[in-house]
Structure formats: C-alpha cells, structure tokens
Chain A
Amino acid sequence: MSTEAIIEVRAVSKWYGQFHALKNINLTVHKGERIVICGPSGSGKSTLIRCFNRLEAHQQGEIVVNGVALHGRMSNVAAVRSNVGMVFQHFNLFPHMTVLMNCMAGPMWVKGVSAVEARQTALQFLERVRIPEQANKFPVQLSGGQQQRVAIARSLCMKPDVMLFDEPTSALDPEMVSEVLETMTGLARDGMTMVCVTHEMGFARAVADRVIFMDAGQILEEGTPDEFFGNPRHNRTKLFLSQILKH
C-alpha cells in the first residue's frame, strides 16, 4: 500500500441547522486502502461519506480529495466528482435508460468519450460484474442485486480513483447480498480504493484494511479488523458488535 493520500479529512464538523451531525472528524484514506465504516443508525456515516464528493457541505475543517480542497465556491467540483464513484443504498439507476446507456452516460457526457469507446468500456465492466446479458434491459426489469451491480459498473465506467459505498446491500433480499459483496470483494482484490459504509461484518473482516466505528457524529474507534473485532476498546463498540453479531 502506498502512502499517497486520496482523501484527507481534517477537523471536519458539520451541522444540520442546530444539530451537530459530524464532530471534529479526522481521517486519511490512502491509495489502495479499503475502509469499512460502521456504527449505529443516525451516527453520521452517510453524512460523512457524502461529504467526500460534496453531496453534503461541511462547515468547519478541510476535506481534500485528490489534492483538491472541497468548499462552497469551487468551480472544479465536477472533475472531483467524476473521479469519486458512489454507490447508493437504493441504487439510483436512471430508470429511463437501458443498463448499457446507464453505464455509457457518464463517460460520454462528462468525459467526452466517444460512443463507441464508452460502449466498449460499459460492456467490459458489465462483464466484470457478471451481467453482460442484461445490457439492453431497463433497470426495472432486473432484480435488486443485479441493479446494484449495474450501479457499481456505472461508477466503474468513470474510472474513478476511489469508490464510496453507502450501505450497498441493506436494501437487498438476503440471497442477493452475497452477489453484490462478491463483486465488491473482487474490486478490492484488484486494488480499488474503497470506503464502504456497511454492516456486513464478514465482508469487513475479509476485505478491510481498517474498520472505523462512528457514534453520535464522532469517530469512536478505528483499527485493523483483527484489533477491531478481537479487542474492541470502547464499551459502545462492544455493545454494537454484540448486537450486530448476535444473529
């Protein structure tokens, strides 16, 4: 793992009105690193990673992505965003376009890639998530797991430097979770930098370089999976783990 930082978060705070959603967050994501963020509902996990591509604005501190500082008046936000892939809990595929077009749209419209080339890339990544045969269907015609894999392919087509996942499996039926996790594991194996908000602890154990536990807008604890699962320091973490690993 190189030490080159892709995302640097320094002393970041965020408020929703009066509500203090992120409290003094410090975090560095290095190139090639796989980070899993977990924590109870409402602890600010989504808020944090949505700050990484400025879907949300932070009010204090500094977030630097690929060397570009994110702030309110930046003119190059599109360039940053096109280098940061994001996969959502509810897929958010474009329902009026075929699967193939979903994957071609970004490269063609943002990067100015030719249709032929975009198509090639799209098919290549659809192959990679193992659904090339669905290319000409519309998203509603696919199962949840297939849709989420299309969403991953759509992000990959932009050739991002880092991928953000916000609970990518929590809207899926149990039997579809594994196909998405396998896809993500494959990505990790190929060296993609990833930040995943997920409660799939098996995935975290197998893939993560670092696990981060958030509670009430703060990073309470972080460490390698072995440290984190084997020897959690905080009572809050122990409680959370016992609840989530119970079943």
Chain B
Amino acid sequence: MLYQDTVEAEVLVHKPWFVATMFGVVLLVFMAFNLSGTGFAELMRPVIGEPQTSGIYGRFAIGFAIAVMFTLNVVLIGFAPLKLQIGIVWLELLLLFMAFFETFHLSLPFIGEKLPFLITQGVATTLYVSAISIVIASVIAVAGAVAKLSNNGFAYAIASFYTSLFRGLPLLMQVYLIYLGLPQLGFVINAVPAGILALSLCYGAYMTEIFRSGIQSIDRGQWEASRSMGFGFALTMRRIILPQALPVIIPPTGNQFISMLKDSSLVSVIGVWELMFLARTLGQKTFQHMEMLISAAIIYWMLSICLELIQSRIERHYGRSKMR
C-alpha cells in the first residue's frame, strides 16, 4: 500500500460530482445497449409495458434502473471498512464473471464427466512441467546473474548471448526449434522434455536479468563487510547478498512463475497432454468447446491465485527485518 497521508479526504465515491458522473455514464452506456430482450426488461414490464415496443422510453427506464442500482451499490460499499469493501467488490465482480459464463448455457454433466481426467492428466502435467521448469530456470538465473556480473570475459559473453537470444525469440518458436531442431543434430527428444527445456531456457533468460538487478541493488558496503571478515565469494553470495536481494527479486519472480504456469500451455502445440491440450481436444468430438475451455480457464486462474498467495506470504516473511 502506498504511504498514506494522515489528512483524511472525503471518500471519492461519496463526492457528489463523482456520483453524478458515474450515474450519467452508466445510464448512457446501458441506454446504448438494447436490453429490451433480456430478463431484466421482463422484470420492468410493470413500468414500461411490453418491452419490445417500449422504444426509447423503455431503454431510458431500464438504463435508469440499472444506474440507480449501480450507483447505490457503489455509494453503500464506500461506507464499509476497507477489508469488507475489497471482499464485496471481489464478490460482485466474480458474480458478473459467472453470469457471463452462464450465457454459454454450459452442459454441467459433460463438465462433470470430463473434469476428473482434465485434472488428473491435464493439471498434473501442467503442474509438473512448470514446476520442473521453474526450478531449472531459477538455477540458470543464479548462474547467469553471477556470470553477467563477473569480469570473466567468457562467462559474460556466454551469459549475455544466452539472455539476448532467448529473450529475443518468441517462446512458441523456441518450443518448435527445440522439439523439431534438436533431432536434426542427432538428439531425439520427447515432447515433455523438449517443452521443459524450452520453458526453462526462456524463463531462465528473463530471470537472469531479474537476479542480476537484484544482486546489484545490494549496497557495496555489504560486500566490503563480508570480505573484511574473510567470507569467500560463494559464502557472501549465499548468506549475505542473495538473502537481501530476495525481497527485491521475489515480486518480479512471482510474476514469472505465474506467467510460466500459463505459458506452459504453449507446449500443447507439440502434443503434450497438459491442461490446454486437453481443453482443446476433449470437447472437440461433441462440439462442446466452451465447456472445456471455460473449465480450463477457471483451473488456470485458481492455480495462479495459489501462486499469488504463496508470493505474498513469502514477501511478508522477508519484510520482517525491514520493520521498525
């Protein structure tokens, strides 16, 4: 959270100009859509008569009703304490999102039938492909960062060539190049290892830069103090520098983890049976695409939320020594 001023200002959503503007915008937006065929219009029948023939008056009445509800909702939430506000807004957005899915008229029995396989095969593969890749990428990142900071010409050249190349090619292309290209060189490689290799190399390149800047952000006094006590390079790095760099490194690395989880879907193009692959194929036979895609979407999202939670826990853990 930003550093908050102690001077209390009136809550934004209670300022008259803001409320009025919000009301106006919502009214106009909903007038612009023709909602006369919806269930909501049916509810308004006592006011506007037959929805289909109510014309501009009907549109206005519907927009007005929605704007009143919307504005009232926002103003009321403005009175709640912060935590509750956040909770309610989340819940409402979630409900809207579900309502959007509802419009597809998904077949729940079909989802129920396929879901177990989607999870045992798809989620399991997605998870282990990303988990292994994340571990390898982190190892590459530490080594790459140290190489980029060293004054060994070979190490620097190799590391910078690597980061430049793998950050410069689309991940999808790397997946293809590794899966189809390595056999040309005589290494026949299966789809899963190829996918893991591509993800690790690509994310290792990004994370090298994150780790490098994290290490560089540490005051040189820390190096001097360590050195003056006789700590060697590896010890200083492991016990003094990296632990202090972690709070700097973790937020962007968390981003990388989340993004890796989803980019692991790219290995579906080489036929790995992970979540995305199954989402595309399971519904194909019966043309029930949306069922599987939406299920997979929700699963991806929930996995990401887990990672977000883990990330915020770790950040809090490392925040300790900064507190006064």
Q: Is the CB of B235 within 8 A of A109?
A: yes
Count residues of chain A with CB under 8 A from any CB of chain B. Answer: 30
Q: Is the CB of A53 within 8 A of B321?
A: no
- Picked from B221, B229, B244, the residue with its CB within 8 Å of the CB of A82 is B229
The B12-30 residues at the A interface (CB cut-off 8 A) are none
Q: Is the CB of A88 within 8 A of B232?
A: no
Contacts of B322 in A (CB 8 A): 95, 140
0/1 string, A66-108, CB within 8 A of B gives 1? 0000000000011111101110101011111100000001100
In the assembled complex, the Cα of A79 lies from the Cα of B231 at a distance in Å of: 10
B230, B231, B320, B323 — most chain A CB neighbours (10 Å): B230
In the assembled complex, the Cα of A85 lies from the Cα of B235 at a distance in Å of: 18
* Total A-B pairs, Cβ < 8 A: 66
0/1 string, B224-261, CB within 8 A of A gives 1? 11011111100100011001100000000000000000
Nearest CB on B from A49, distance (A): 11
Contacts of A138 in B (CB 8 A): 320-321
0/1 string, A103-125, CB within 8 A of B gives 1? 00110011000000000000000
In the assembled complex, the Cα of A158 lies from the Cα of B230 at a distance in Å of: 10
- Interface of B, helix, strand, loop or mixed by DSSP: helix
Q: Is the CB of B230 within 8 A of A78?
A: yes
Count residues of chain B with CB under 8 A from any CB of chain A. Answer: 21
Contacts of B228 in A (CB 8 A): 53, 55, 81, 84-86
The A202-216 residues at the B interface (CB cut-off 8 A) are none
Residue of B nearest to A77 (CB): B230
In the assembled complex, the Cα of A183 lies from the Cα of B222 at a distance in Å of: 23
Contacts of B219 in A (CB 8 A): 92
| A-binding residues in B (CB < 8 A) | 219, 221-222, 224-225, 227-232, 235, 239-240, 243-244, 320-324
Give 24 A-B contacts (CB < 8 Å), ordered by A residue. A53-B227, A53-B228, A55-B227, A55-B228, A77-B230, A78-B230, A84-B228, A86-B225, A88-B225, A90-B221, A92-B219, A92-B222, A92-B224, A94-B225, A94-B240, A95-B321, A96-B321, A105-B229, A106-B230, A109-B231, A109-B239, A139-B321, A140-B323, A154-B229
| B-binding residues in A (CB < 8 A) | 53, 55, 77-82, 84-86, 88, 90, 92-97, 105-106, 109-110, 138-141, 154-155, 158
Known: A80-B230, A88-B225. 20 other contacts (CB 8 A): A55-B227, A55-B228, A77-B230, A79-B230, A81-B228, A86-B225, A86-B228, A88-B221, A88-B224, A90-B221, A92-B222, A94-B240, A94-B244, A96-B243, A109-B239, A138-B321, A140-B324, A154-B229, A155-B229, A158-B230
